[in-house]
Structure 1
Amino acid sequence: MVFPFYSKSCFFSFSVSVVLAIVPDPKNVRVTSVNMGAVLEWDVSHQAPGNLTYTAEYSSDTAFKAVCQNQTEQRCDFTTVISPYGIYVFQVRAELQEETSQWVKTSEFIPDSNTLIGAPTVRLVSKNGSLEMDIREPVLRVSSLKEVYSRVSYNIKYWREGYEDQVTMMSDIQQTRVGLSRLEPWTRYCVQVQVFIKTFQKRGEFSEVTCETTTTNGRMEPWKIGVVLVVSFVAVSVTFPLLFLLTCYSYKGLKFLFPTAKLPEHFRQYLIEPSSHSNIFMAMQNIPQMDEQYHEVSVISEWMEGPLEEGGPLYSHSERLQGREEEAGKEMEEDEEKYSNTVTHVD
């Protein structure tokens, strides 16, 4: 504020101006709106003091209502108090203790017309020589896209990777599942999609670049089929004989390592209890060889008449034979006793 002061003396006049400090107005006041949000933002001049606070209000008819008061942040979010179909005006002022700046107002803000639609989400799948796109609409902060707009469509552009200057456009597509056909097999293609609101001629942000490689369409040329059949026949002709030989040799090897013949029972007993048999064998080896005992036997073919008389020739010969037999029996008993004693000592 400037106050003039005048003085006259000797045809001389002068004036004094007194300048009082004022609070600077917010600069560059604007509304940022993405997906039906509404955020009021502003800037401050470099000459403004650093301890300013701000108050922001909105109006949908004639009266203004405060949403942000005495805050230092240079933004205010009005998303929760607006409707997609309303018409709003926002204003903000700076404050320094008891002094305030002038209110700075925005132009009319219409959410469904002025908001920026974000990018959709795109999923790309390769199938039978073509590419299938699954498009999901962006999520709005207020309501949903199809509830706010009666007609929602998409603009699609795609190109072969490395050939960005050769873009193919598909406009005003209302389906959310779209197929791209007539593509070259085993080639990588990239796509981008944006929302298009025809009522307001509004175009949203493009999605991120999504790329995928195509495959064949499932058809095979006749000469390729012939090559596959020949290779398969050769592989089968070589593989089956090799498997047969391998099976035969494996069976023979197993028969050799694990024979099925069984040992006789006395061999098994001998192998199970080798200690007792070895002791008997050693005892038999240690027994000295005995001389064979034999006696003369005289055969008398002469028969004499009459009874045998004591002291006669036949009688006397019989007595001798009997005596010899008794001696031989005694010697055999002695030999058996000696053999049993030897075996007992070895055990």
Structure 2
Amino acid sequence: MVREFGDQNLVTLCSNVSIIIFILLLTLEPSPHLPAPEDVEIYSYNFQSLLRWSPVPVETGSVLYTVQYKTGAFPVWNEMNCTRIPQTQCGFPVEVQKRRWTIFLRVRAELGQLSSNWVQAGPFVAERDTTLGPPRVNTVSASSDSLLLSVTPPFTPESGDSFQYRVFYWENTTRTTRKEQETHNTLFQIAKLKESTLYCFSLRVEFQGVYGELLGQQSAPECHRTAISEATRAGYITLLCLSGLVLINLATAGLLLLWKHHKKIKQSFQPPLKIPSHFEEVRAEVLCFSCKRGKRNQGSCCPTGINHCCLRVTCLMLISHLIPLLLSWMIFYCVLRHKLCWAFL
């Protein structure tokens, strides 16, 4: 009886060893199947969707891929124009690009007669799972107290789509407070701004769908400067005209002072010189000649000729004083009529 028990244990031991050897041989044999694709995911941006995956590594040959789809309403796998393709991505065909459909996809690798297991992705609903980009800014018109923006949504809208744009704006300074406003229009205004100030803004679209609110990405900041108001422009023109008036009056006063005290100024810079008698006679003759416009007096230069010369000098002084006064009145008129002055300048 003991011998029979020993023979039975020996048979059991041999059976276990045979099983272990068989398992080891199976693990050493090459697998008849390809590895399945990895990192399978559905990528969707602005309702443009595709299935992508990592390439399957093989030592020899070129791996091809086949993609199929089915919907929640019709659970039958169908081809989607991606049969035995070398690429590692497959775009959705037109018949599958429905925002509210529930889509399932699967992909497998193929090499000759070998094929991998299917790897499934989904369920996917575009209106729920897509990523919305930032809205596009078409034009920006600046006024003295506002910015007028024209924008378009990041994708082609369909009938019945509901959008909301959220605008974030702030003054471009070191210490600033971000403000925001909402609008449903593609043409809207950021109002109550400071004139001649640099403002920056950023936009984000919010899509109202059946599955709830879908938030888009925020756009990169754009900066624009507001314009100068008409009142400020008129003030600048007035200040410019008044400054010109003051400068002309100061120049006139300075010239008059120089003329009035020219002898003292001349004496302060150089000692007085006595003109020789023969030069004095020539000077008197030239002075009489200039006073009488070339008609030389047969006698000596009489005091009457000298008086004429003095009268001429007096007239020149009056004219030089009247010209700045006329210019001053013209500038004052420009101040009253700043638009005419602006056109003149």
Do both proteins adopt the same fold according to a TM-score greater than 0.5, normalized to the shorter chain? yes
Pairwise mapping of residues 100-139 of structure 1 onto structure 2 (< 5 A)?
100-122=115-137, 123-139=139-155
Alignment of 1:145 with 2:145, yes or no, is no
- The CA deviation at 1:228 is 4.9
Aligned to 1:187: 197
Aligned to 1:32: 43
Alignment of 1:65 with 2:75, yes or no, is no
Aligned to 1:75: 89
> Cα deviations across residues 188-216 of structure 1 (Å, max 9, x unaligned)?
11111111024422111222322111122
Aligned to 2:217: 205
Question: Could you tell me whether the CA contact under 8 Å between 1:159 and 1:190 is conserved in 2?
Answer: yes
1:178 to 177, 182, 188: 188
Aligned to 2:114: 99
Question: Could you tell me whether the CA contact under 8 Å between 2:135 and 2:203 is conserved in 1?
Answer: yes
- The CA deviation at 1:230 is 3.4
Partners of 1:48 and 1:189 lie apart in 2 by 59
Change (3 A) 1:56 1:206: same
Partners of 2:78 and 2:89 lie apart in 1 by 16
Question: Could you tell me whether the CA contact under 8 Å between 1:124 and 1:211 is conserved in 2?
Answer: no
> Cα deviations across residues 97-150 of structure 1 (Å, max 9, x unaligned)?
1111111111211122222222211132211332111111223xxxx324262x
TM-score (norm 1): 0.57
Partner AA of 1:180 in structure 2: I
| Coordinate RMSD, CA, aligned | 3.2
Q: Percent identity?
A: 19
1:214 to 195, 210, 226: 226
Question: Could you tell me whether the CA contact under 8 Å between 1:39 and 1:79 is conserved in 2?
Answer: no
Give the greater-gyration-radius structure (CA). 1
Change (3 A) 1:232 1:79: farther
Partners of 2:223 and 2:148 lie apart in 1 by 12
Aligned to 2:302: none
The structure that is helix-richer by fraction is 2
Change (3 A) 1:164 1:119: farther
Change (3 A) 1:201 1:237: farther
Partner AA of 1:216 in structure 2: I
Partners of 1:26 and 1:116 lie apart in 2 by 24
Partner AA of 2:189 in structure 1: G
Partners of 2:41 and 2:198 lie apart in 1 by 43
Partner AA of 1:215 in structure 2: A
SS of residue in 1 equivalent to 2:231:
coil
Question: Could you tell me whether the CA contact under 8 Å between 2:42 and 2:122 is conserved in 1?
Answer: no
Partner AA of 1:135 in structure 2: V
Change (3 A) 1:54 1:101: same
- The CA deviation at 1:50 is 5.8
Question: Could you tell me whether the CA contact under 8 Å between 2:200 and 2:223 is conserved in 1?
Answer: yes
Which runs of 5 or more residues in structure 1 are unaligned?
A: 1-7, 242-347
SS of residue in 2 equivalent to 1:70:
coil
